[in-house]
Amino acid sequence: MRLVLVGPPGAGKGTQAQFIASNLSIPKISTGDIFRANVSGGTELGKLAKEYMDRGDLVPDEVTNAMVQDRLAEKDAQEGFLLDGFPRNVPQAQVLKKILDELGAKLDIVLELVVDNDEVVRRLAGRRTCRSCGKVWHVDFDPPKVDGVCDACGGELFQRDDDREETIRHRLEVYEQQTSPLISYYAEEGLLEGVDATGPVEEVTRRAMSALRRFVD
């Protein structure tokens, strides 16, 4: 199976990607993994991407696209894959279609993890990080025994800037602007299947696998 996983920040894409790919015995391919592999491997694309990242700039689509094309041509992806973090917009989706056409393959399904903005804010804004050991706690889902103190090492817990509500809501606005057209694009292609991403991780995985089975059948 060849599938794309999409969803807003805080929807649990990384966790679900791991579980779903494992269940389907296909490689999980994320743009972050591809970047790291190319940079650490010293490939020409990796060197080019690193120049942008070192300047604090976004890596251009054409570099990302080339990395994805190389990765999808590898042997382990021939029988299927799960893409997490790519495509992020309609032009990238059109490039993906072209890449797969050249490989004689096609996308089977785009799985959208659906969660409302308030739930995303609750998930992300509730995180607290230990200044000493880096362990992450959550005020609702995994609270420390003593408020503001890490159970593991006794360090001070703090809220990172990117976990503040205003930052999270801005990220959600950006996601909506960039990805809404992508959702519509795949819906028109007849490839989109939504999955309720609220609740325990195992329950979301069960829903996702059921959706995949229904879609393929």
* Residue of 36, 106, 131, 160 with catalytic role: 160
171 classed as catalytic: yes
Amino acid (one-letter) located at 86? F
The catalytic residue among 88, 97, 169, 206 is 88
d(CA 198, CA 141): 13
97 included as an active-site residue: no
- Selected catalytic residue, list 13, 71, 128, 207: 13
**Which of 28, 122, 123, 127 is flagged as catalytic?**
127
CA distance 203 to 197: 9
- How far, CA to CA in Å, does 166 sit from each of 66, 120, 146, 176? 34, 12, 26, 15
Give the H/E segment covering residue 114.
Answer: strand 109-114
Residue 88 catalytic? yes
Which residue(s) pair with 137 in the sheet? Answer: 128
Catalytic residue among 97, 135, 164, 171: 171
Taking Cα atoms as reference points, which of 157, 114, 89, 160 lies closest to residue 10?
114
- The verdict on whether 160 is a catalytic residue reads yes
Catalytic center residues: 13, 88, 127, 160, 171
